[in-house]
Structure 1
Amino acid sequence: MPRQLILCIVFISASLTVGLALTSNLVVFETLSFLVGVVTVTPMVLLPLAADLAPPGHQATAISVILSGLLFGILFARVLAGVVAEFVSWRVVYYLAISVQGLVLLGGYLVIPDYPSKNKDLTYWDILRSMAKFAVTEPVLIQACLISIGANACFSNFWVTLTFLLGGPPYNYSTFVPIPTY
């Protein structure tokens, strides 16, 4: 089941990215960007899959390799996208993303094992109820989630505001209005 889910969400994400590369309507672009963000959850599926497939005692290593690859990929993709967009159209960045997603789809098809679910009687709603139970019974889990939220907020804040520095004339950062140059 995880294999089919991963392949499906990568395919949907790549298909929506085709729309991002081709559209010239801002509302359509924003809508497609939102939908790409909604379906781009492959790492969240890969992390528990890696832990599940790893031999006993090596789950933390498997998770750290996946998480390191994810963070390196995010950083590398932003740098590469900036370099590509500097010399060619921004649409080329999306065409590059489509080709990388195609490679991920092919690699996932060839590499990810297909095995049955361990808990066939567990429904989606049972999983959601168990997460609500963990929120009450596992305070360390809540602490780890809050730390992760803070770390991701800092990470996103840095990379989003960095685009203002890369985007052109100097800005008044209290209003984000370009400072006139004489």
Structure 2
Amino acid sequence: MSASSPSTPSGLPGGPSGGPSDDLSVGLTWLFAVTCGAVVANIYYVQPLLADIAASFQVGMGRAGMLVTVTQVGYALGLLLVVPLGDTHDRKRLILALLGLCICLLLAAAASPGFLTFAAASLGVGVLSCAAQVAVPFAASLAPDHSRGRTVGTVMSGLILGILLARTIAGAIAHYAGWRAVYVTAAVVMTVLGVLLARTLPADPARPSIPYGRLMASVLALARADATLRWRSLMGALGFAGFSVLWTGLTFVLSDAPYRFDQATIGLFGLAGLAGALAASRAGRLADRGHAHLATGLFAAACLAAWGLMALTSPLLLGSLVALTAGILLLDVGVQGLQITNQSVIYASNHGARGRVTTVYLTTYFVGGACGSAVASLAWELGGWLAVSATGEAIALTLLGCWIMAHARRRGA
């Protein structure tokens, strides 16, 4: 598949969002990156705090565990219902409004007197954290064509680091000051970022106003009209499905005999994912140089090789944890590199619809992740880690197969 689809498919509302800026500074690019990382971290703070929250509100761990789902559902709703507004509204004002509301709900979470209040605040925090996915296409719009991929890669590196470090930061703050201090700290961080963004973000060019119902209908029309977007969304969904298979199955295998690691130790394996953040910027540079298709194939192959390594994770095999760590690192490079390549391509060709493109892509992406988690749990029940790794290998093989078929069509065109 090529990336040569028109900037806005025929019949869809929305025009160019203003030309890219040739002077998008390094400082502004990194401010976008830090913002995305800090905002998306709001979704993940709750995970290491579940035991403390359950004790505080005197609920069971099963009920407390639903807070993770509630926050993720909120984020999905934000992607679907709020992010498309970035195509018709001033994105600077939209980001600042989302951050302002998020500050209020973070403080509400910190002051929650009961479980249901906290759950409602968590749902709202999830919805408003979609500000990160308003910021990514905004940065892409400001970047010149020759460095858009690199810009997206840098911004997404910040987002990935936010996901990886959120659990560690939340655990450290809670250890010394309690779980409520985590949300107070997050509110302070959002306030500082809001002030910086208000002072430094450029004005967003005016675009035609579109009624909300028509805007949402155009999301589906865009998906139908743009074959490149559909293909890139499929590749992203497969990549994230494999990623979810790993992180669902990993907890099972490392908490089981003979390892029996605690949650803190299991969490340290996530540090191997820092390689993915480094890969993100490199993937963007490959896309800028016209090698997005080749990069896609290489990252898909990395996912397949990673699962081959991780299949060696067995107490009967010498050095299996070394193979597991290497596999995690390689899979993260493959998945995050694929993610940046996909987004670089779809943002390059949809100048007037980047918010809606983000909605189509990330909604499909999270559906893939949810399916991966469900399949991993089933695989573990049926055959332990061997079945989990076989599932991951099958997904990666499908991913690479899709690329091979697309490559064959390109050669035959």
State the identity %.
25
Tell me, what secondary structure is at the counterpart of 2:145?
Answer: coil
User: Could you tell me how far apart the structure 2 residues matched to 1:2 and 1:63 are?
Assistant: 16
Of 108, 113, 116, the residue aligned with 1:27 is 116
Change (3 A) 1:9 1:86: same
The one-character-per-residue Cα deviations of 1:110-148 (angstroms, maximum 9, x if unpaired) are: 11111332x325444444333212322323322332443
The one-letter amino acid of 2:156's match is L
Of 103, 127, 133, the residue aligned with 1:14 is 103
1:9 Cα deviation (Å)? Answer: 0.1
Tell me, what secondary structure is at the counterpart of 1:57?
Answer: helix
Residue equivalent to 1:166: 263
The one-character-per-residue Cα deviations of 1:65-86 (angstroms, maximum 9, x if unpaired) are: 1111111122222211111212
The one-character-per-residue Cα deviations of 1:57-113 (angstroms, maximum 9, x if unpaired) are: 211111111111111122222211111212321111111101111111111111111
- 1:120 and 2:208 are equivalent in the alignment: yes
User: Could you tell me how far apart the structure 2 residues matched to 1:151 and 1:96 are?
Assistant: 33
Tell me, what secondary structure is at the counterpart of 1:120?
Answer: coil
User: Could you tell me how far apart the structure 1 residues matched to 2:129 and 2:118 are?
Assistant: 16
Of 121, 124, 131, the residue aligned with 2:219 is 131
User: Could you tell me how far apart the structure 1 residues matched to 2:246 and 2:193 are?
Assistant: 28
Change (3 A) 1:71 1:155: farther
Asked which structure has the greater CA Rg, the reply is: 2
Tell me, what secondary structure is at the counterpart of 1:24?
Answer: coil
User: Could you tell me how far apart the structure 2 residues matched to 1:20 and 1:13 are?
Assistant: 10
Higher relative contact order (CA 8 A, sep 6+): 2
Q: Which moved more, 1:95-104 or 1:142-151?
A: 142-151
Change (3 A) 1:130 1:58: farther
The one-letter amino acid of 1:39's match is L
Under a length normalisation based on structure 1, what TM-score does the superposition of the two structures give?
Answer: 0.78
Under a length normalisation based on structure 2, what TM-score does the superposition of the two structures give?
Answer: 0.37
User: Could you tell me how far apart the structure 1 residues matched to 2:124 and 2:171 are?
Assistant: 23
Residue equivalent to 1:145: 233
Change (3 A) 1:149 1:91: farther
The one-letter amino acid of 2:178's match is S
How large is the RMSD of aligned CA atoms in angstroms? Answer: 2.6
